[in-house]
Chains A and B, each alone.
Chain A
Amino acid sequence: MSALRPMGSERWWVWLFLLPTLLGLALGTFGSIFATIGLSFTNWDLLTPPQWAGVDNYADLPAGRMFTKAFWNTLAFSGLYVPLTVVLSLVVAIGLNRRIKGIGWFRVMYFLPAVCSPTATGLLWNWIYAPDNGVLNAAVTAVGVSPVSWLGPRMALYSIVVVNVWGAIGGGMIIFLAGLQAIPKEYFEVTRLDGATAWQRLRFVTLPALAPSLFFQTVLTTINAFQAFDYIYVLTSSGNGNSTMPTLVFSIYRSGFRFFRMGDAAAQAVVLTAMIFALTLVYFRLQKKWGEA
């Protein structure tokens, strides 16, 4: 190691080359975290100087209708999105973890949504979900059912979950495919000799071997669920800046950049961060309890 340690004048160069990244981290990442925490204790409308507000912004959150609605929406969304995304990307990964002709193309097709701009694909989904001339309603009416308001208050949650899960399967699939391919083939050969059924192979070999990937993917998906914004903004925002299915990030965005209540928005952001942090801690506790594979 000592041979790698910079000496004398080299040391200055090291710092010089690191400076852009360090500045970016200091101002961009840590700077905005501390600024957000600081702002959450003020009232600020972006134009006049911030005024100290103490914990008022936090105290007012439970009474705020937009925040409470967004809070429950986020929980409902995560409750559906996380298990669906994890299970479906696992199923797709297992299905695509074989040597068949054109397997590369199948994998590309499933991964494609992950590399597309959510704004662009969101517009596409808008067309699918459109109430009058939408693809989905055309199909529904063709079989004699009356058209559904897919992005209306009753169905928005499910429609949004579908789009988000669709967009997230590709990323999860990659993680699980990597995990699957790291399982030594001898495990499967032993089970073949032992006469395990496909279900037993999955239950006793594949899933335990995938435990680290499952854990990682669940944490990541949960974090993404709490931060869901782009599809929701593109698909559910209405003319007045509201949404049929506002989530926490949507509420933060609206409070800050529509109502210019930066202190309120910052307080919501801090609460959201605390929630994600707490959930991640819970996951790590669970992982310790069940032991890593």
Chain B
Amino acid sequence: MAQVSLNNIIKSYGSSQVMHGVTFDVADGEFVALVGPSGCGKSTLLRMVAGLEDISGGTISIANRIVNDVEPKERDLAMVFQNYALYPHMTVRQNMGFSLKLRNAPKTEIETRVAEAAGILGLKDYLDRLPKQLSGGQRQRVAMGRAIVRQPAVFLFDEPLSNLDAALRVQMRAEIRALHDRLQSTSIFVTHDQVEAMTMADRIIVLRSGRLEQAGAPLELYDRPANAFVAGFIGSPAMNLLRGQAVDGMIKLTPKLSVPLPAAADGPVIWGIRPEHLSLVPAGSEGALRVRVTAVESTGHATFVMGDMDGIMITALFTDRPPLSKGDQIYLKASPEKQHLFDTTTEVRIN
């Protein structure tokens, strides 16, 4: 169990800097998700914590010890890889016990720890199989089992669910979280899937192009994104982010289309409203936006409506099933207290 602190982390390859001073702490026992689009540096950051990647500036400390120049094996952490990296010629038992064997742990201790981990992960019947005889989900469990037997201070997960199919991903999501609650270990979980981050993490750290955009609890990020990037990245379907001009308490989205300004602002702004915070209202209601439906998609539990309002695309989501079809004229109203306003140039939140 340990706290992990990253302080002003910088990474450069030659003259190109890819990490621009990232700072955050992971508390002892906390489950933190690093999310961001491809190339944002989340995996690099994780690999720097692991010691697999050098850092060009800043400090990383684990359990109050600066580990910048500490070998990976001395950092007391275990990592689960996206492709599992199980040794193909070793059985599940050998794979799980391998790190202990390398440390010359007594045979009986290896046996007990492997048995214990196998019990937790439901792998007892598969201990003598080879990785190729297992399903994707089982391999994923073995990879976790291998991490568990080490009893590390910190668990690092590098997109461990990306190779699984959708149903299994949902299941493993819950399993990993349950495992975390049981072991009470510090965990850092890298993913590009914001749903994974939202459902699993105590705290989410959003990265973009080597910069920390926002850190906070999942719902905090959802309810009050610090900037337009986080607003668009967290939440599915993505938030509607519409550019306009703030004039006289209104946002002019197009010459013919305006919405009331939710906070004091002047000049160019980005108005944000989540699809689920738009509701159908009768024609002529106050503040209603006239929308022509361009597409309707239903997943059963939710209906997505894509529409065109004076040339601007907007998405709405309803959990009842409004009888709509392409070409219909509808009126949408944004919940006043659920609106977001961002500065156009800095993309920073205004309200």
Contacts and interface: CB of A to CB of B under 8 A. Distances in A.
Interface of A: 184, 186-187, 189-196, 200, 204-205, 208-209, 211, 291, 293
Contacts of B77: 193
Given A186-B85, A189-B79, A189-B85, A196 B102 contact: yes
A189 B72 CA distance: 9
20 contacts: A184-B83, A189-B72, A189-B81, A190-B79, A192-B51, A192-B73, A193-B73, A193-B77, A193-B78, A194-B98, A194-B102, A195-B72, A195-B73, A195-B99, A195-B103, A200-B102, A204-B87, A208-B88, A208-B89, A293-B89
Contacts of A192: 51-52, 71-73
Contacts of B78: 193
B246 interface: no
B190 interface: no
B52 A189 contact: yes
A21 to B, nearest CB: 38
Interface string B142-162: 000010001000000000000
A30 to B, nearest CB: 39
A199 to B, nearest CB: 11
B50 interface: yes
Interface string B96-110: 001100110000000
Contacts of B51: 192-193
Kindly list the 3 A-B residue pairs having the minimum CB-CB distance in the complex, ordered from nearest.
A195-B73, A186-B85, A194-B99
- Interface size band for B: 20 to 34
Contacts of A211: 89
Q: Give the secondary structure class of A's interface.
A: helix
Contacts of B146: 190
A196 B77 CA distance: 14
Contacts of A187: 85, 87
A205 B50 CA distance: 20
A140 to B, nearest CB: 46
A195 B99 CA distance: 8
Contacts of A196: 102
B307 to A, nearest CB: 44
Contacts of B98: 194, 204
Contacts of B87: 187, 204-205, 208
Contacts of A190: 79, 81, 85, 146
A178 B87 CA distance: 19
Contacts of A193: 50-52, 72-73, 77-79, 99
Nearest to B152: A193
A62 B87 CA distance: 50
A192 B51 CA distance: 9
Interface in B49-91: 50-52, 71-74, 77-79, 81, 83, 85, 87-89
A260 B101 CA distance: 65
Contacts of A209: 88-89
Nearest to A194: B99
A208 to B, nearest CB: 4
A191 to B, nearest CB: 8
A11 to B, nearest CB: 42
A184 B72 CA distance: 18
B99 to A, nearest CB: 4
A184 B102 contact: no
Q: Most chain-A CB neighbours within 10 Å: which of B52, B78, B150?
A: B52
A211 B71 CA distance: 30
Nearest to B100: A194
A195 B77 CA distance: 11
A187 B81 CA distance: 10
Given A184-B85, A186-B81, A190-B85, 19 more contacts: A184-B83, A189-B50, A190-B79, A190-B81, A192-B51, A192-B72, A193-B51, A193-B73, A193-B77, A193-B79, A194-B73, A194-B98, A194-B102, A194-B103, A196-B102, A204-B87, A208-B88, A211-B89, A293-B89
Contacts of B79: 189-190, 193
B102 A195 contact: yes
Contact of B83 (A186, A195, A291, A293): A186
Nearest to A191: B102
A181 B328 CA distance: 58
